Chain A
Amino acid sequence: MTKEKRGADIVVDVLIKEGVDTVFGLPGGAIMEVYDALFDAPFRNVLTRHEQAACHMADGYARATGKVGVVIATSGPGATNLVTGLATAYMDSIPLVAITGQVPRHYIGTDAFQEADVIGITRPITKHNFLVTDIKDLPLILRQAFYIARTGRPGPVLVDIPKDITQQKTTYKMPTDEEVRESLPGYNPHTEGNPVQIKKAAELIRKATRPVLYVGGGAILSDAAEEIYKLAHLAQIPVTTTNMGKGAFPETDPLSLHMLGMHGTYYANMAVYHSDLLIAVGARFDDRVTGKINEFAPEAKIIHIDIDPASISKTITVDVPIVGDVKNVLRKLIKELEEKPVEWIAAREQWLKQINEWKEKHPLNYRKSDKIIKPQAVIEEIYNITNGEAIISAGVGQHQMWAAMFYKYKYPRQFLNSGGLGTMGFGFPAAVGAKIGRPDKTVFAIEGDGSFIMNVQDLATAVQYRVPVKIAIINNGFLGMVRQWQQFFYDSRYASVCLSVQPDFVKLAESFGAVGLRATKPSEVREVLLKAMEINDRPVLMDFVVDREENVLPMVPAGKSYREMILTPKQKGEAETMYLVG
């Protein structure tokens, strides 16, 4: 037993116990007591300008460090402003704990000032949420929140605390790890993987002639990059990753096929289409990956390793499901393969030769220009200048896909983006969170002009805390991805996509106390980037004015088969789209 403490102090105590070094948030009436306690807390408390940005910062921090991100907001509008951020983290299985103030217990249900049913609102977009109704439950609930957030398939957990509980005083004992586990009898994530299934998987790998590893974000969450590398090289299996899986396998490796799916490479999609064995690792067969489901790897047997049983056979029936932590399962699978090896190199020779032909025939490329800045060229230049070592945090849209395609990721937690929910405005605040969590790394936010402006207010936060993120705006004056779809599928009717009225981004940056730079010609791109690399005491914003109607290609139109990939940009007099087959 300790001396009497306020609920608010218990919150701080648990955060310390959980090893939290940074929280993000914005105060308000119902959370003031907690902020009062935070005032003396021995960790960093980042004041943001908007709760959504706070949530994305905590998310970016979590993605970059692997630790649980913490965000704090007040009741009502404070909490509802977290909604998009929580849904973003939920879709990508990012461990977050959100602490929200609630109106005092006796006001709940009375439509009190700044009251909202936050538990009801966030129920479908959190892994779990709690309303604290008694101060004696507070320490355990907070510890449960951290435990649930980071274990199993990670995700955001919200704890809603009525103001009177934060003010109430009590004595308490910090719950132990064991007490936390035992207090959740219905929560037992399977981590080990069934040995019989692992044996079956090994047998399929030995027999396969055209295997492909399809790696998703689960491999990064499970910290399994080393095992993926080992498996790929041991059994000579080419690796394609999803957008979320980028960095789980080095894209500079000859076995890398880069990304698959809607904006996947020709060779990744062809390899998957023709494969006879698909090994899905921490991936969930998202529609942006599979396209037309019954033509996705149509001849392949499928092994699916995932910690979440609900991900297995959700959209596609798999042959060998293995429920377990990816890292654990892969270790056992590798051991199984090593015990009974085959002549891997000989066995894969034909397949890898075929893949190399595809790679040579249709590499990832674009039409270069010396008159107008090509967005892809900006990404390539960022790659060169950072030696491929930077953390890249992208917004959502065309720039996100170019950032995924033209920067070659070598490490897990190097590419951060809202893969599942597709949240515009994510890239910049997530970059700020990432830079705070990883001050040793160069962190770039690659943003669109449309995406960036959705959380522009938090430039103030980055300036206030001297977070030297590099913001590269791929400025095409359009909601570019929507424009591209309109060009392809709506007869070029550009409805509500033109952002011709926009701020002067350089002056905007300067007005916040950041540095603003601009490039309008290809020759200026490198110069601007070099200048930005020299600034390390504040954020720097680079406005790259790019080719307005550049398209993201290749592209598999939504719901189509990989066979129907659009490969080349539209030329005057050419057919609207060019399909590979039929």
Chain B
Amino acid sequence: MSDIKVLKVRPEPEKVIRKHIITVKVQHNFGVLARITGLFAGRGYNIESLTVGRTHEPDIARITIVVEGDERVIEQIIKQLRRLIETLKVKDITDLPHIERELALIKIYTADDRTRDEIMRLVSIFRAKVVDVSTDSYTVEITGDNEKIEAFINLIKPFGVKEMARTGTLAMVRESANIKMEKGDKE
């Protein structure tokens, strides 16, 4: 029976898993966010963070998605996002010069004066802001890229965090890089 020679196997592409930032412009319609989150859930992609908001154009919303995956998974995510009828533009900006911002509100226990002083020092170093004060807590507002926020959180953790809320990453390509990219964003 074995009259056929066994051929070599097709080489597997190398898998490099890393974090990607994808920005999506969509028509601001009823249910469009559910469409996007449903796509990620249904196809088994893991969202690290997702932010959504209106833009200067009244009918257009902008979504920033941070997601981890290898090249093929990311390529599929982008193609699947482009397939949605309400999607206007999808861009993987990971490797482009870009600005990245996240906002966090952190309520920190303030046990004594020494703690209060130390927190204020950190707030000043990180150019954060105290936005609410109570007898036993400070609420700090901080903005920056993901790394900066993580660093701040690590430093204030020992004082005791009572509550925390984060927006997830917002990102935008720097104008210098944007000019070259204008064409062909939805294939």
Chain A interfacial positions (CB closer than 8 Å to B): 119-120, 123-124, 127-128, 131, 133, 148, 184-188, 190, 270, 273-274, 293-299, 308-310, 312-314, 316-317, 323, 563, 567, 578-582
Looking at chain B, what size class is its interface with the partner chain? 20 to 34
Question: In the complex, are the beta carbons of B76 and A131 less than 8 A apart?
Answer: no
26 contacts between A and B (CB under 8 A): A123-B35, A124-B39, A127-B85, A128-B85, A131-B31, A184-B85, A186-B26, A186-B84, A186-B86, A186-B87, A187-B85, A274-B4, A293-B10, A294-B10, A295-B9, A298-B8, A299-B7, A309-B82, A312-B79, A314-B76, A316-B10, A317-B13, A563-B4, A563-B6, A580-B1, A581-B6
CB proximity of B132 to chain A, nearest CB, Å: 35
A119 to B13, CA, bound (A): 38
A123 to B7, CA, bound (A): 43
Contact of B30 among A131, A298, A563 (CB under 8 A): A131
**Residue ID in chain A nearest B42 by CB atoms:** A124
A578 touches B1 (CB 8 A): yes
Which residues of A lie under 8 Å from residue B187 when comparing CB positions?
Answer: 190, 309, 323
Q: Is there a chain A Cβ closer than 8 Å to B46's Cβ?
A: no
Task: Collect the chain A residues with CB atoms within 8 Å of residue B34's CB.
Answer: 120, 123
Decide if B186 touches A186 in the complex (CB within 8 Å): yes
Query: Contact: A148 with B8, CB < 8 Å?
Result: no
A128 and B38 CA atoms in complex are apart in Å by 13
Say yes or no for B72: interface residue by CB 8 A criterion: yes
Distance in angstroms between the alpha carbons of A133 and B29 in the assembled complex:
11
The docked-state distance in angstroms from the alpha carbon of A563 to that of B84 is 39
A90 to chain B, nearest CB (A): 12
Min CB distance A518 to B, Å, is: 40
Counting CB contacts under 8 A, is B135 at the interface?
A: no
Chain B residues near A314 (CB, 8 Å)? 76
List which B152-187 residues lie within 8 A (CB) of chain A. 186-187
Per the bound structure, the CA–CA distance linking A127 and B80 in Å amounts to 12
* Chain B residues within 8 Å of A316, by CB: 10
Are B10 and A298 in contact (CB-based, < 8 A)?
yes
B74 to chain A, nearest CB (A): 12
Contact B12 A309 (CB under 8 A): no
Is B27 part of the binding interface, using a Cβ–Cβ cutoff of 8 Å? yes
Query: With A124-B38, A187-B85 as given contacts, are A313 and B6 in contact (CB-CB < 8 Å)?
Result: no
One of B4, B42, B80, B85 near A186 (C-beta < 8 A): B85
Q: A131-B31, A270-B4, A298-B8 are in contact. List 19 more A-B contacts (CB 8 A).
A: A123-B31, A184-B85, A186-B85, A186-B88, A186-B186, A187-B85, A294-B11, A295-B7, A295-B10, A299-B8, A309-B83, A310-B76, A313-B72, A313-B75, A563-B4, A567-B1, A581-B2, A581-B6, A582-B2
Quick check: B4 and A309 within 8 Å, CB to CB? no
Contact present for B31 and A298 (CB under 8 Å)? no
Closest 8 CB pairs of A and B: A310-B79, A294-B10, A294-B9, A128-B85, A581-B2, A186-B88, A298-B10, A298-B7
Q: Which residues of chain B are within 8 angstroms of A186 by Cβ–Cβ distance?
A: 26-27, 84-88, 186
Residues of A with C-beta under 8 A to B82: 309-310
Which of A119, A186, A294 is most buried by chain B, counting CB atoms within 10 A of its CB?
A: A186
Q: Give Cα A228 to B91, complex, Å.
A: 36
Closest chain A residue, CB of each to CB of B9: A294
Contact A188 B186 (CB under 8 A): yes
Bound: A310/B87 CA distance, A: 14
Encoded as 1 (CB less than 8 Å from any A CB) or 0, chain B from 1 to 26 comes to 11010111111110000000000001
Complex interface: chain A residues within 8 A of B13 (CB): 317
Q: How far is the CA of A323 from the CA of B38 in the complex (A)?
A: 26
For the complex, give the distance between the alpha carbons of A310 and B75 in Å: 9
Report chain A residues within 8 Å CB of B9. 294-295, 298
Q: A299: nearest residue on chain B (CB-CB)?
A: B7
> Closest Cβ of chain B: how far from A298's Cβ, in Å?
5
Q: Is the CB of B7 within 8 A of A185?
A: no
* CB-based nearest A residue for B43: A124
Cβ of A154 to closest chain B Cβ, rounded Å: 13
Instruction: Report how far A46 CA is from B187 CA in the complex, Å.
Output: 41
Give the distance to chain B from A272, nearest Cβ to Cβ, in Å: 11
- Inter-chain CA distance A581–B9, complex, in Å, is 15
The distance in angstroms between the C-alpha atoms of A512 and B35, with both chains bound, is 43
Contact B1 A274, beta carbon cutoff 8 Å: no
Q: Which residues of A contact B38 (CB under 8 A)?
A: 123-124
Nearest-neighbour CB distance to chain B for A152, whole angstroms, equals 9
Q: How far is the CA of A128 from the CA of B87 in the complex (A)?
A: 12
- Identify the closest chain B residue to A152 (Cβ): B83
Q: Are A310 and B4 in contact (CB under 8 A)?
A: no
Are B2 and A580 in touch, CB under 8 angstroms? yes
A148/B85 contact (C-beta < 8 A), A131-B31, A310-B79, A323-B187 known: yes
CA–CA, A186 to B82, complex, Å? 8
Residues of B within 8 A of A312 (CB): 79
> In the complex, what distance in Å separates the CA atom of A563 from the CA atom of B11?
17
Q: A124-B42, A184-B85 are in contact. Are A133 and B30 (CB under 8 A)?
A: yes
Q: A124-B42, A186-B85 are in contact. Are A580 and B4 (CB under 8 A)?
A: yes
**What 0/1 readout, one digit per residue, does chain B (92-104) give for beta carbons within 8 Å of chain A?**
0000000000000
Q: How far is the CB of A276 from chain B (nearest CB, A)?
A: 11
Chain B residues with CB under 8 A of A299 = 7-8
- Which residues does chain B contribute within 8 Å of A578, judged by CB atoms? 1
